[in-house]
A and B are shown apart, each in its own frame.
Chain A
Amino acid sequence: AQSVTQPDIHITVSEGASLELRCNYSYGATPYLFWYVQSPGQGLQLLLKYFSGDTLVQGIKGFEAEFKRSQSSFNLRKPSVHWSDAAEYFCAVGAQNTDKLIFGTGTRLQVFP
């Protein structure tokens, strides 16, 4: 069955520290992979996406993610976290000819000054 797993429910980091949010997927077809961010009281905003090509993708707000097919992973990274990055982050997987986007359960990021 198709699924997305975000193993970390809640992560706390200090401002300025590096960040890595994990995402593992199970998908039979060649996946499209996404990271969305949800700030408090807001909808979901697309951070970055992977469709094909270079497996290291750059997104908005200084985020990047690396697609590793052998590990079925698409981890999100940022070298230096800012207090404004505190939010909930969702990984999602789809494909070119599918009828739905499958979301993970989310990781809540807390940033301490």
Chain B
Amino acid sequence: EAQVTQNPRYLITVTGKKLTVTCSQNMNHEYMSWYRQDPGLGLRQIYYSMNVEVTDKGDVPEGYKVSRKEKRNFPLILESPSPNQTSLYFCASSPSRPGNIQYFGAGTRLSVL
């Protein structure tokens, strides 16, 4: 089954404790992206990757890191999480340029205390 898998689905952590949210897709898509969803703000792009070893900032990259060492994986790293990063995070992938259809993971709800 074609899918984008995020882990964990729920995470509660404390300020400053490094964490990683994993994202994996099994569709051989070139493009992957991370979004955060906040009430009243819709989805805002954090980082995206056009291919292996190619990443770029989205609209709200501060406080986040990503890597793309393999085509299928695109982890989101919070080196020192802060309470303002409490949010719902989505990973997405697309077969080619992202202005096209994107396929979303189920989301990761993060709370930073």
Contact = CB atoms under 8 A, between A and B. Distances in A.
Contacts of A49: 101
Contacts of B105: 43
Contacts of A105: 40-42
Interface in B49-75: 50, 56, 58
B65 to A, nearest CB: 19
B45 to A, nearest CB: 6
Contacts of A90: 42-43
A36 B105 CA distance: 13
Interface in A29-83: 32, 34, 36, 41-46, 49
Say which size band chain B's interface belongs to.
20 to 34
Contacts of B4: 43
Contacts of B87: none
Interface in A77-113: 90, 94-101, 103-106
A101 B102 contact: yes
A101 B99 contact: yes
Contacts of B81: none
B100 interface: yes
23 contacts: A32-B99, A41-B107, A42-B107, A43-B105, A44-B43, A44-B92, A46-B101, A46-B103, A49-B101, A94-B98, A94-B99, A95-B99, A98-B98, A98-B99, A99-B48, A99-B50, A99-B56, A99-B99, A100-B33, A101-B98, A103-B42, A103-B43, A104-B42
Interface of A: 9, 32, 34, 36, 41-46, 49, 90, 94-101, 103-106
Interface of B: 4, 33, 35, 40-43, 45, 48, 50, 56, 58, 90, 92, 97-107
Given A44-B43, A98-B97, A103-B43, 16 more contacts: A9-B40, A41-B106, A42-B107, A43-B107, A44-B92, A49-B101, A90-B42, A90-B43, A94-B98, A96-B99, A97-B97, A98-B98, A99-B98, A99-B99, A103-B42, A104-B42
